[in-house]
Structure 1
Amino acid sequence: MAPEMAKSDSVTIRPARRPDAPDLARLGDMAGHGLPSFLWRRSAAPGQDPMEIGIARASRDNSGFSWTNATVAEIDGRVAAALVTCPIGDTPEPLDGLGPIVATLQALENRALGSQYVNVLAVYPEFRRRGLGRRLLAEAARLAGPRRLSLIVEDANANARRLYESFGFRVADEAPMAKEDWQTDGTTWILMERPAGA
């Protein structure tokens, strides 16, 4: 059963629906500083917009990056922010056959076994500084139940790191980035965790 909608000051926090997939893809790409669209481009047909790949992936029912694992914040009926979170299992995922970028991220996820993973947390620029990120983190903690929370952030993303630290996340591990042709200011991926009930 879907959780009840929470409203306050015209903000609605609700489970995502399949029609939210375009917003989930755009916000997911923002959260990843363009890394998702960089990777989607590899799957795109000639002339195809990589965002179409992201929307198709967000539209699936059974994957980590899916509308079924997403929560959105709406302001006056518009999607303003999104959270995508799902549990990490108790068995490490294999790294064989993954490219360097994805293998590095998967290896860090494998160090957070048994946690509730925050895959995406992003707010559209025009809706920032309204506490939506913190409200969605609180929703992630609620969804996690007895599990600890985990996430991966770039070392260069100082604003996000401050938010996570203020919410009780602490550095658990890190790994040098493999970038290939992806352009970003960061040099290191940081795995952060928050104990259950913190």
Structure 2
Amino acid sequence: MIELQAPFRPARQSDIWQLAELVNFAGEGLPLHIWRGMAKPDQDPWEVGRSRQAEKVSGGQIYVADFGDGAVAALTGYPIGAQAEPIGDDFPPLFRPLQELENLALNSWYVNVLACYPEHRGRGLGSRLLQLAEDIAQDGALAGMSVIVADDNVGARRLYERTGYREIASLPCVREDWDTETENWVLLTKAL
């Protein structure tokens, strides 16, 4: 079990509003696009996003930085096992390249979301949350770390590379009706 030091703590249900914002921020609008598709005709897509975050909080998958006023940065992740996930013909095209890249990072701890509100950047929270992710991976006896970034997310990529991640593969982004400048998804990994 990993011992957390302030300002880091496991996410709580009271964080779900901030978590939905942080997830959408990190995903450059893709999460909100997906939540819109999942929402019922009379449902706010942000409600879908908050519900999804509530599930992950219950599952213990999210850690946050909190200086006393709620989550200002978040880390969401999970272990990728030793077996590749099957990708059938009915697999949604938007997610296909992401799953194909994940399947190249077996036995790793996957950084699904790393986000920080802009006003809290430059304080080392991203690097410290990545160290927490590595501690979790080592505690789980995983061989390494993995993350997928959009090729146009220069700041995130710079952070990952500065902390030892290296590109091992990329695949074209399938946009469907998502309005984005992203051309490719890039898989970065780090051995532990």
Q: TM-score, normalised by structure 2?
A: 0.92
Query: Number of residue pairs matched?
Result: 188
Give 2:66's aligned residue: 74
Match of 2:169 in 1: 173
* Residue in 2 that maps onto 1:183: 179
- Identity %, equivalent residues: 45
Name the structure 2 match of 1:4: 3
Report the counterpart of residue 86 of structure 1 in structure 2: 78
The secondary structure found in structure 2 opposite 1:121 is strand
| 1:105 and 2:95 matched | no
- 1:20-35 matches, cutoff 5 A: 20-35=15-30
Q: Is the 8 A contact 1:24 1:67 kept in 2?
A: no
TM-aligned CA distance change 1:154 to 1:172, over 3 Å: same
CA drift of 1:67 comes to 5.5
Q: What is the one-letter code of the residue matched to 2:41?
A: P
Instruction: Give the aligned residue type for 1:159.
Output: G
Moved over 4 A (4+): none
CA deviation vs aligned residue, 1:82-104 (integer Å, no higher than 9, x gap)? 00011011111122222111111
Q: Which amino acid aligns with 2:83?
A: T
SS in 1 for 2:156: helix
Question: Amino acid of the residue matched to residue 164 of structure 1?
Answer: Y
| SS class of match (1:37) | helix
Q: Is the 8 A contact 1:153 1:161 kept in 2?
A: yes
Name which structure has the greater RCO, CA cutoff 8 Å, separation 6+: 2
Which residue matches 2:37?
42
Counterpart position of 1:140: 133
Aligned mates of 2:4, 2:146 — CA distance in 1: 24
From the superposition, tell whether residues 66 and 88 of structure 1 become closer, same or farther in structure 2 (CA, over 3 Å): farther
CA deviation string 1:122-152 (max 9, x = no partner): 0011211111111101111111104200000
Quickly say closer, same or farther: Cα 1:66–1:168, change in 2 above 3 A: farther
- 5+ long unaligned stretches in structure 1: none
In the alignment, the residues of structure 1 paired with residue 33 and residue 126 of structure 2 have an alpha-carbon distance, to the nearest angstrom, of 24
Q: Is the 8 A contact 1:4 1:14 kept in 2?
A: no
Q: 2:29 and 2:84 mapped to 1: Cα distance?
A: 26
Q: Is the alpha carbon distance of 1:66 and 1:189 closer, same or farther for their aligned partners in structure 2, counting shifts above 3 Å?
A: farther
Letter in 2 for 1:21: I
Which AA in structure 1 matches 2:81?
G
Gaps of 5+ in 2: none
Aligned to 1:157: 153
- Give TM-score, length-normalised by structure 1: 0.89
Q: 1:20 touches 1:67 (CA, 8 Å); kept in 2?
A: no
